[in-house]
Amino acid sequence: MSRFEIKNWCPGALRPMLSGDGLVVRIRPHGSALSPAQAAGIANAATKHGNGLIDLTSRANLQLRGVDPSSHDELLADLATLVLIDRDVAAETRRNIIVTPLRCARHGPETIELAAALEEVLDHAPDLPSKFGFAIDTGEAPVLAEVSADVRLERTACGQLIVRADGAPCGSTVTRSEAPNAVLALASWFAESGGVQEGRGRMARHLANGSRPSNAQDWNALPATSVATPAPGPHDEGFFVAAEFGQLHAETLGKFAAMGREIRVTPWRMLFLSDISDVPDAEGLITKADDLRLNTTACTGAPGCLQTHAQTRELARALAPHVPKGSHLHVSGCSKGCAHPAPATVTLCATPEGFDLIKNGRACDRSHRANLTEEEILLLPHSLFEAS
């Protein structure tokens, strides 16, 4: 078996995943941000070693697609010079940290310091499930509340730092210097108290089962009220830009790098360019909050995924103008539903026989209709959203 043939893991850079278009190599930017030089280097590497397509993931990572396995070692060397490679697979897997893109002048420097300090202490973390993650949400108000994470660093309405276990309404207050070890202590308690079963487990479920650490009586500080997930367009601190189906062209990333600004990578499949008010136009970019493509999600599908039963994105692109306001369409190449694990108003899930139509459910849920052809779907796109 080749070193790349194992499926169903979360890919990294050191441990990529083999897909239908070559290797998928995931890069975890430190502090969820790239310097212009790092962004330019990634754009260059995506073209040199891959097919030039870059996925923006829900973990605030970048994925280079179509990487030739014979180029992998050379790609790692290029990424190492950009300081984007971890010491080993274990360190890469543990470094599952999302940092708020909204850092504000008042809290930005501390947020960056906290992210770096947490990376250091995670060297002492126990074995954790690969999906176990950390959110550093220490801007003026939390914005990552809807983003998957197991231990969260946030602030109270008065600006005091708190460490909060996901699933608990309150956290415990900490000083800046205490915060990284308090996060580590919570993750260690999770592992030691049986939160990991057969390599899996999440904090919220562990708490829901009644588990509590001995210092849980200190969980009495409420986080500040969350702000809404940002939309594409200008923002007080910069500009949010999304990519159609979360996929950027290397050339576009190169254009952003040339603007000379820090590029923050968000978990909403958007980039945030600090201190600018507009971005250069490029194919597939979404820069307005009312863009109809934001109501439609589609996974990689054919030919990029080995497990798909159909192409997905052309169909999703054709259907996007017909998705009613307030509804969401998910086109999935198989029942795994990678692109949108939550329920959608309408999910079209490809099977060997055609498309299943699922209403208000996930790709793996029971279908309302089965074996639809692409032609049937495109003939009456509005009927997908009619009440049955």
Could you tell me if 255 and 280 are in contact, meaning their C-beta atoms sit under 8 angstroms apart? yes
Q: Is position 11 an interface residue for ligand SF4 (rule: CB under 6 A)?
A: no
Q: Is position 17 an interface residue for ligand SF4 (rule: CB under 6 A)?
A: no
Half-sphere exposure of residue 248: CA atoms within 13 angstroms, side-chain side: 27
Task: Choose, by CB under 6 A, the member of 47, 172, 311, 332 that binds ligand SF4.
Answer: 332
What tokens does 67 get? 């990487």
Q: How many CB atoms lie within 10 A of CB 361?
A: 19
Find where tokens 């367009």 sit: 233
CA distances from 45 to 11, 266, 271, 375 (A): 17, 21, 19, 39
CB-based closest residue to ligand SF4? 333
Q: Is position 337 an interface residue for ligand SF4 (rule: CB under 6 A)?
A: yes
- 174 versus 305: smaller Cβ distance to ligand SF4: 305
How many residues of this chain bind ligand SF4 (CB under 6 A)?
A: 12
Which segment (225-233, 333-341, 351-359, 379-387) binds ligand SF4 by CB under 6 A? 333-341
What tokens does 238 get? 């910069």
Interface mask (CB under 6 A) for ligand SF4, residues 295-314, using x and -? ----xxx---x-xx------
Could you tell me if 236 and 29 are in contact, meaning their C-beta atoms sit under 8 angstroms apart? no
How near is the Cβ of 338 to ligand SF4 at its closest, in Å? Answer: 3
Task: Choose, by CB under 6 A, the member of 149, 187, 334, 348 that binds ligand SF4.
Answer: 334
Residue 316, helix vs strand vs coil: helix
Computed on alpha carbons and rounded to an integer, the radius of gyration of the chain in Å comes to 21
- 231 versus 338: smaller Cβ distance to ligand SF4: 338
How near is the Cβ of 314 to ligand SF4 at its closest, in Å? Answer: 14
Q: How buried is 388 (Cβ within 10 angstroms: 0-12 exposed, 13-18 middle, 19+ buried)?
A: exposed
From CA 113, how far away is CA 354, in angstroms rounded?
A: 51
How near is the Cβ of 356 to ligand SF4 at its closest, in Å? Answer: 13
How near is the Cβ of 333 to ligand SF4 at its closest, in Å? Answer: 3
How near is the Cβ of 337 to ligand SF4 at its closest, in Å? Answer: 5
Binding interface with ligand SF4 (CB under 6 A): 299-301, 305, 307-308, 332-334, 336-338
